[in-house]
Chains A and B, each alone.
Chain A
Amino acid sequence: EAQVTQNPRYLITVTGKKLTVTCSQNMNHEYMSWYRQDPGLGLRQIYYSMNVEVTDKGDVPEGYKVSRKEKRNFPLILESPSPNQTSLYFCASNWGGFDNEQFFGPGTRLTVL
C-alpha cells in the first residue's frame, strides 16, 4: 500500500529536550515536505526537500531542522523545542509537477510543556 508514515503519532515533551519526528514514504517520490497545522492558520510549510541532500526552507522554518540522507526518509528535528512549537505536524510527499497530488502522513500531535 502506497503511504506516508510518521512516528510518533503523539508526543508530549518539555522545553529544551531534543526530539525527532520520523517520516517515511514508499512511493519513491522525489519531493517531501513538512507542514504544521494550527487553529485559525491552516497549514504552513516548514521545510521541503527536492531530492536526497537537497533541502530548503518553507514559510516557518525557525526552530526546526531536517535532513534527507535517503530518498524515502525525511525526519523533522527540533533541537530545543519551545511551547510555541506545540502543533499538529504533517509530512507529505509527491512526484512534482503542476497537477501532482501530495500524499500526507497521518500527523503527529506534539505538545511542548
Chain B
Amino acid sequence: GDSVTQMEGPVTLSEEAFLTINCTYTATGYPSLFWYVQYPGEGLQLLLKATKADDKGSNKGFEATYRKETTSFHLEKGSVQVSDSAVYFCALSDLGGGADGLTFGKGTHLIIQP
C-alpha cells in the first residue's frame, strides 16, 4: 500500500537558519503530494502541493519539488522564523484525494528558537 516516510523530530533550529524536512513516498500510481502544517492547538492546513513530476509547490517562503526518480518531496525554506514553529506533515493522494483521503507521514515537529 501507499506510505509516506518523513524525518521525525523534534527539529530545533535558530531563527534565519535554512530548513530541510525530508519526505519520501511509496505509491502504486502517480500520486499528488502535499505538505500540511499544524500550528499549536489548531487543525491541519495546506501549505503547498504538487500534482505531477517536477512540479514545484511554494507558499509562505516554503518550497518542495516533486521528484519522481527519487520518490521524494522534501520541504525547504531559506530563512525560518519563530512563527514557523509547528508540526509539518507530508502526505500523498493516490486516488484523487477525495474518496480515500490522504496518506500521511508521522509528522515533523519543528521548533525555531529566537
Number of interface residues of B (CB under 8 A): 24
- Tell whether B69 is near chain A: CB-to-CB under 8 Å: no
Flag A94-113 by CB within 8 Å of B: 1 or 0 each: 11111111101111000000
Q: Tell me which of A41, A96, A101, A105 contacts B96 (CB under 8 A).
A: A96
User: Are A98 and B97 interface neighbours, CB within 8 A?
Assistant: yes
User: Are A31 and B89 interface neighbours, CB within 8 A?
Assistant: no
Nearest A residue to B97, CB-CB? A100
Give the residues in chain B near A42, CB-CB below 8 Å.
89, 104-107
- Tell whether B51 is near chain A: CB-to-CB under 8 Å: yes
Flag B88-114 by CB within 8 Å of A: 1 or 0 each: 010001001111111011110000000
User: Are A96 and B43 interface neighbours, CB within 8 A?
Assistant: no
User: Are A30 and B45 interface neighbours, CB within 8 A?
Assistant: no
CB distance from A2 to the nearest CB of B (A): 12
User: Which residues of chain A in 45-98 are interfacial with respect to chain B, using CB atoms and an 8 Å cutoff?
Assistant: 45, 48, 50, 56, 58, 90, 92, 94-98
CB distance from B18 to the nearest CB of A (A): 25
Q: Given A41-B106, A42-B105, A43-B89 in contact, is the A97-B43 Cβ separation under 8 Å?
A: no
User: Are A98 and B89 interface neighbours, CB within 8 A?
Assistant: no
Q: Tell me which of B43, B100, B104 contacts A48 (CB under 8 A).
A: B100
The 10 closest A-B pairs by CB, nearest first: A96-B98, A104-B43, A42-B106, A100-B97, A99-B51, A43-B104, A104-B44, A31-B98, A33-B101, A98-B32
Residues of B within 8 A of A (CB): 32, 34, 36, 41-46, 49, 51, 89, 93, 96-102, 104-107
